[in-house]
Amino acid sequence: MGSVAGRPDPAPRAVKRYQVRWAALDPTQGAEMAKTRPAVIVSLDVLNDRLQTVVVCPLTTQLHPGWRTRVPVRVGGTDAEVAVDQIRTVSKARLGRVLGTLSVDDARALRRVITEMYGE
């Protein structure tokens, strides 16, 4: 996978659902979240294995506890929110190294918010 914004991926690894990876989200338009930032892979592994794109939700450290479109998580010792309202499809070429994987409880909470926002 190469590197994203100077963050080399030491060994190409399979892209798996609920991994948190660096993602280069620029260029953007309008109110889309920009820059290279952590993002959670939310697409199914059967799709991740076959397609050159993945669906991600970016993370932000700008916390908004009252927003129902955000899921609080802790990644790499940092409090953050998964921005489900900023869900998007990106090329795997935009992905960098793995920062971690969501906990079972955080993955469940993320699935619940995605279902509430976008249906079953």
pLDDT digits (tens, 9 = 90+) for 98-116: 999 999 999 999 999 999 9
Ranges in the chain, pLDDT < 50: 1-3, 5-6, 8, 10-11
**pTM for the complete prediction?**
0.87
Give the list of residues 6+ apart from residue 60 with CB closer than 8 angstroms, or none. 33, 37, 70, 80, 81, 83
- CA 69 to CA 45: how far, in whole Å? 23
Other beta carbons less than 10 A from residue 5's beta carbon: 13
Question: What class has domain 3-118?
Answer: mainly beta
Residue that the structure tokens 């976008």 belong to: 118
- What pLDDT is recorded for position 7? 53
Amino acid residing at 109: A
Domain ranges of the chain: 3-118
What is the per-residue pLDDT for 10? 45
What is the model's pLDDT at position 83? 97
Within 8 A by CB and 6+ apart from 106, the residues are: 71, 73, 82
